[in-house]
Amino acid sequence: MTTGQPASSDFDVVVVGAGYSGLYLLHRLRAQGRRVRVLEAGDGVGGTWYWNRYPGARCDVESVEYGFSFSAELDERWRWSERYSAQPDILAYLNTVADTFDLRPDIQLNTTVTSAAYDESAHRWRLRTRPSGDTDGGGADRGEELTAQFCVMATGCLSKPKVPDIAGLDSFAGPSYSTSSWPHEGVDFTGQRVGVIGTGSSGVQAIPLIAEQAAHLHVFQRTANYIVPAHNHELSEHDQGAEKLATRRRSGLDCPLGVAFEPTEVNAVPAMELSAEEREAEFERLWQRGGLVMMLAFPDLLLEGEANRAAADFLKSKIRTKVHDPSIAEILTPKGYPVGSKRLCVDTSYYETFNRDNVSLVDLTATPIDRVTPAGVLTGAGEVPLDALVLATGFDAMTGALTAIDIRGRGGVPLSRSWADGPRSLLGLAVAGFPNLFTVTGPGSPSVLSNMRLSIEQHVNWITDCLAYLAENGIAAIEATEGAQESWVAHAAEVAEPTVFPRGASWYTGTNVPGKARVFMPYIGGVPAYREACDKVAAEGYQGFELTRA
């Protein structure tokens, strides 16, 4: 189904979003014989991988761990081409998923959900939609209303772009592009003077490729990030045989980050109990391996203190070996915050890009952006003339896609009001006051601090098993209790407290969005402990939830 009206508007389950989560949910729910409708704002499936088409966009979890684990048929059908897959590959994979399981007939594209309200007497959700892109105010009339007993928000953690707080953006005379909604036909920067604002993961991936094309690239950096190399390479058939896939997936289940990491004895020892040489050797080993596993070097690395500083010093020293001009290397060196408190970036040739003659780095801490002008960007050092502007300025993460929908629970209470002081959720799966509503990888779950594929599968399995239990036991409504929710929120905060995470100014804590409550949102207790907590709740008949009989 594409944009056509559904045959009926009453469903057992409505799923919002057709990325990894929505596709797997649909597959599982249909296998249970439920009437499901997936509503998707884009005109294709893929979620994150549908929208983020900027040059260099690729995953920072290895491809062989990023494919769904539930289907041998899918494994047979699909081969990854690189260690870290590029966006077109992942989007093609998700389209293959949709085709393999014939999911499209139950997916309604170009449909933006505007509101969802819970009807207490009927134990059903009533959702309103509008056609995507319909911003003239008439959209509500051309939208539709759907009802469902259960509503699952599969809306993604990094899917609501942050509105950049930069004066004069609209006045720019040339084209401007956002990495999070890149033109499908691509952009040719040949011969142009291009400015990129933002040096998080998106900027770090896009900058080297834009630099190869542009006549001149100006990078506007406010905060230098900690960056580890991807060491990307092609994948062979041997790298993704059935046995290899199974081993790596198993290993991911036991790892706090949900990725295949075989710890050595050294990794179990606190960093400062080793000699400086031993510590350095381990950092170097993981640097050569590449990717986010650097964060698993030592058990105390993500706690505030010496181990964290040692890791930071190691990463800073690498910048000086890669960037020829010491003054540029100094600007690219992170300062004033612990490594890990902002999301680590994974790069290919980022630092080397600053050795090119056609690349300039603008240090916004020294010369902040005053405003964008028709001709370029005006900073404290003067105007930088530009032909094109790229915004890699990030997302209203974890809660933005949810609060963008007018979700109202019992008593008509809006979710945005319940979460005004920060998100509160039981296990990142359900919210007190919002019966029969589930969130996939919601705040309070490992989500963005884990391999998203693995965490999505775990959540979808948990939610669909829960729905099967409710059906078998004649239960019409399920709702997280306030008490259980408060205990989980307190536990999540307690686990995070000794770590560097709550200290950082980042999208993890909502500090990147003006006015957003400052709360560390993901669960840092690790994938195995989290899964155990979820399994225990289910095994005990959904303890912590109130169940209402039909």
**Site residues, ligand N01 (CB under 6 A):** 59-60, 158, 164-166, 197-203, 205, 222-223, 343, 346, 364, 369, 392-395, 448, 507, 512
Alpha helices per DSSP H over 2-47? 20-31
Q: What is the DSSP letter of 265?
A: S
Pairing of strands 388-391, 193-197: parallel
- Report in angstroms how near the CB of residue 332 gets to ligand N01 at its nearest: 12
- Nearer to ligand N01 (CB atom), residue 143 or residue 198: 198
Q: What is the DSSP letter of 340?
A: T
Is residue 13 classed as helix, strand or coil in its secondary structure? strand
Rg from Cα positions in the chain = 23
- Nearer to ligand N01 (CB atom), residue 178 or residue 267: 178
- Nearer to ligand N01 (CB atom), residue 13 or residue 519: 519
Amino acid letter, residue 323: V
Q: Under a CB-based contact definition with an 8 Å cutoff, are residues 308 and 341 in contact? A: no
- Report in angstroms how near the CB of residue 394 gets to ligand N01 at its nearest: 3
Backbone angles phi, psi at 319, to 5 degrees: -65, -40
Backbone angle region of 422, left / alpha / beta, with phi > 0 → left and psi within -120 to 50 → alpha: left
- Nearer to ligand N01 (CB atom), residue 151 or residue 386: 386
- Nearer to ligand N01 (CB atom), residue 436 or residue 499: 499
Alpha helices per DSSP H over 117-261? 139-142, 201-213, 242-253
- Nearer to ligand N01 (CB atom), residue 148 or residue 158: 158
Amino acid letter, residue 317: S
Q: What gap in Å lies between CA 261 and CA 263, rounded to an integer? A: 6
Q: Under a CB-based contact definition with an 8 Å cutoff, are residues 259 and 61 in contact? A: yes
- Report in angstroms how near the CB of residue 28 gets to ligand N01 at its nearest: 25
- Report in angstroms how near the CB of residue 357 gets to ligand N01 at its nearest: 24
- Report in angstroms how near the CB of residue 369 gets to ligand N01 at its nearest: 6
With both helix axes pointing from N to C terminus, report the angle between 242-253 and 452-472 in degrees, rounded to the nearest 10. 80
Q: Under a CB-based contact definition with an 8 Å cutoff, are residues 349 and 144 in contact? A: no
- Nearer to ligand N01 (CB atom), residue 248 or residue 408: 248
- Nearer to ligand N01 (CB atom), residue 57 or residue 489: 57
- Could you give the dihedral angle defined by the CA atoms of residues 51, 57, 63 and 66, in that order, rounded to the nearest 10 degrees? -30
- Nearer to ligand N01 (CB atom), residue 203 or residue 433: 203
Q: Under a CB-based contact definition with an 8 Å cutoff, are residues 60 and 127 in contact? A: no
- Nearer to ligand N01 (CB atom), residue 61 or residue 431: 61
- Report in angstroms how near the CB of residue 295 gets to ligand N01 at its nearest: 13
- Report in angstroms how near the CB of residue 532 gets to ligand N01 at its nearest: 25
- Report in angstroms how near the CB of residue 393 gets to ligand N01 at its nearest: 4
- Report in angstroms how near the CB of residue 424 gets to ligand N01 at its nearest: 23
- Nearer to ligand N01 (CB atom), residue 202 or residue 403: 202
- Nearer to ligand N01 (CB atom), residue 63 or residue 110: 63
Give, for 438, the enclosing helix (H) or strand (E).
strand 437-439
- Nearer to ligand N01 (CB atom), residue 252 or residue 435: 252
- Report in angstroms how near the CB of residue 48 gets to ligand N01 at its nearest: 8
- Report in angstroms how near the CB of residue 168 gets to ligand N01 at its nearest: 12
Q: Under a CB-based contact definition with an 8 Å cutoff, are residues 151 and 437 in contact? A: yes
CB neighbour list of residue 502: distance below 8 Å, 6 or more residues apart: 493, 496, 509, 520
Q: What is the DSSP letter of 419?
A: T
Q: Which two tokens stand for residue 411?
A: 């008593």
Give, for 19, the enclosing helix (H) or strand (E).
none
| Cα dist from 180 to 51, 57, 158, 168, 203, whole Å | 6, 10, 9, 20, 11
- Report in angstroms how near the CB of residue 411 gets to ligand N01 at its nearest: 35
- Nearer to ligand N01 (CB atom), residue 180 or residue 403: 180
Tell me the residue number closest to ligand N01, measured at CB. Answer: 200
- Could you give the dihedral angle defined by the CA atoms of residues 28, 549, 445 and 392, in that order, rounded to the nearest 10 degrees? 70
- Report in angstroms how near the CB of residue 525 gets to ligand N01 at its nearest: 19
Give, for 492, the enclosing helix (H) or strand (E).
helix 482-496
Number of H helices, E strands in the chain: 17, 20
- Report in angstroms how near the CB of residue 397 gets to ligand N01 at its nearest: 7
Q: Which two tokens stand for residue 272?
A: 């400062």
Backbone angles phi, psi at 406, to 5 degrees: -80, 85
CB neighbour list of residue 421: distance below 8 Å, 6 or more residues apart: 517, 519
